[in-house]
Each structure stands twice: as structure tokens, then as C-alpha cells.
């Protein structure tokens, strides 16, 4: 019991901050969807990134902030194994990020260095979260374990039944929202990639960018060739599989 109490006390504050932040982000997206509010990229980019990172952060805080984990990871062999795993997993994440960029934009990921960096981080987090919600049995175990831990940490010592129920509901909301996010992760990641590319890898204040109508910027591919980041749908309703490649001639 002493170990359990110490574990809860060590992680409670971290999980509380991360959970409140995550709930606020989910609320922002819910309100924007209900009222058809178009959020600017400066809000969408960090918000989408945090919906991937914060659930992972909560998981890491719960699993690592305890004495058994610290003892296991204090040895030289365990540090070596963890380092090798992180290096290999990061390399896999980078390859996946390159593949996603190619699927979205139809060109090499070398033109989207910032986007690739962000997607590598996202993949590193999302694949672990997907594994925890990969099937009905695993999803039930993961969800039940978190809700129980959340309830014991924040509502177990409170006398008010209403307050306990409120914390239980919050735990259920967090798990449900996270499961929904993970279920739609592929589409969310592609949306995230498009916003990152428009923000970090494209040029908006350039003579060529003004020649192709409404767009989110251009990416230079080769001499006199640019990739024009336009909306997915054309004015006539047809779909752009890839952003168009145009000729850019400086006048």
C-alpha cells in the first residue's frame, strides 16, 4: 500500500496538468465542429500535435514515475537496451514520415524537412497509442486500468459521492475522446502534415506564389518548378490527389 500511495502521489500533479490541458483541447475541437468555426493554423497545429502527445505523456508519467521502474532503468544494460530501441524506433518513424509525405504531396520528403521532423515525432507517439487500442480486449483493459487509476488518484480519498462520480466521468471522457482520436489518427495526421507544410516548408511571400490563385504557399522542387499547396478540392468539386507542380519563371 505504501508503494501504491507513493506512486499516486508522485504522478498525480503531472497527470492532472496534462489531463486538464487535453480536455481543453478536446473542448476547442468540439466547439469548432458544432458551430462550424474554422480555426487558424496557428491554433490547429499545436492543438493537433498535443492530441497525439498528451495521452502518451500521461501514459509515460503513470508508468515511469515509480520506484520499480527507476530501479530497472538504473542499470547499464537497461540503459543500453532503451537507447538501442529509441534509435531503431526513431529511424522507423522517420521512414514512415517520409512515406506519408510522399502519399500526400507526391514528391520526395526531402522537400519537406520541417514536416518530416514533426511527423517523425507524431509517429513515434501514435503507434504506441494505437497498440493500446488495437483490439477490443486490449482497449477494455487499457481503458479500465486508466479509469481506475484516475478515480483512485483524484476521487478515491474524497468523501463526496458526487465529486467521486464527477472524477469518474472525467476519466471516462478522457479515455473515450482519446480512443476516438486514435481511431481517426490517419486522417488527423494527414491534416496535420498539410498544415505543417503550409506553415514551415512553403513560401507565401514570393512572386510565384501570387501567380496561381488562392494557395497556401509554394515549395521549390527544381529550377523553375514549384509545388503549389492548394486545397484538396477544386472549385468544381473534383479532388486533387496531389498538389499541382507548376512552372515558376521570375519576371
Place of cell 496534462: 18
Residue 246 DSSP class: E
The model carries a pTM of: 0.80
- Report residue 144 as a C-alpha cell: 479500465
- Asked whether the predicted pLDDT for residue 124 surpasses 80, the reply is yes
Let me know: does 223 contact 248? Beta carbons within 8 Å.
no
- Report residue 197 as a C-alpha cell: 507544410
What are the pLDDT digits (tens) for 134-183?
A: 777 888 888 888 888 887 777 666 667 777 788 888 888 989 988 888 88
- Asked whether the predicted pLDDT for residue 211 surpasses 70, the reply is no
Higher pLDDT, 95 or 242: 95
Residue by residue, DSSP assigns 185-238 as: HHHHHHHHHHHHIIIII-BSSSTGGGGSSS-S-EEEEETTEEEE---SB-TTS-
Rg (CA), the chain: 22
- Report residue 119 as a C-alpha cell: 511527423
Amino acid at each position: 500500500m505504501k508503494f501504491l500511495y507513493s506512486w499516486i502521489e508522485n504522478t498525480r500533479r503531472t497527470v492532472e496538468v496534462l489531463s486538464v490541458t487535453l480536455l481543453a483541447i478536446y473542448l476547442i475541437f468540439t466547439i469548432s465542429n458544432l458551430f462550424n468555426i474554422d480555426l487558424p493554423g496557428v491554433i490547429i497545429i499545436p492543438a493537433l500535435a498535443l492530441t497525439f502527445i498528451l495521452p502518451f505523456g500521461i501514459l509515460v508519467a503513470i508508468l515511469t514515475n515509480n520506484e520499480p521502474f527507476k530501479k530497472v532503468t538504473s542499470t547499464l544494460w537497461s540503459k543500453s537496451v532503451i537507447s538501442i530501441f529509441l534509435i531503431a524506433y526513431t529511424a522507423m518513424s522517420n521512414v514512415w514520415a517520409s512515406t506519408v509525405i510522399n502519399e500526400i504531396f507526391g514528391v520526395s520528403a526531402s522537400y519537406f524537412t520541417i514536416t518530416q521532423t514533426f511527423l517523425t515525432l507524431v509517429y513515434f507517439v501514435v503507434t504506441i497509442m494505437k497498440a493500446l487500442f488495437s483490439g477490443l480486449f486490449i482497449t477494455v483493459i487499457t481503458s479500465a486500468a486508466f479509469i481506475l487509476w484516475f478515480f483512485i488518484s483524484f476521487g478515491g480519498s474524497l468523501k463526496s459521492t458526487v465529486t467521486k462520480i464527477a472524477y469518474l466521468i472525467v476519466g471516462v471522457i478522457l479515455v473515450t475522446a482519446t480512443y476516438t482520436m486514435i481511431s481517426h489518427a490517419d486522417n488527423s495526421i494527414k491534416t496535420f502534415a498539410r498544415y505543417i507544410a503550409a506553415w514551415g516548408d512553403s513560401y507565401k511571400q514570393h512572386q510565384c506564389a501570387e501567380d496561381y490563385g488562392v494557395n497556401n504557399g509554394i515549395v521549390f522542387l527544381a529550377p523553375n518548378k514549384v509545388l503549389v499547396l492548394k486545397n484538396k478540392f477544386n472549385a468544381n468539386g473534383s479532388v486533387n490527389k496531389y498538389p499541382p507542380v507548376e512552372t515558376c519563371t521570375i519576371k
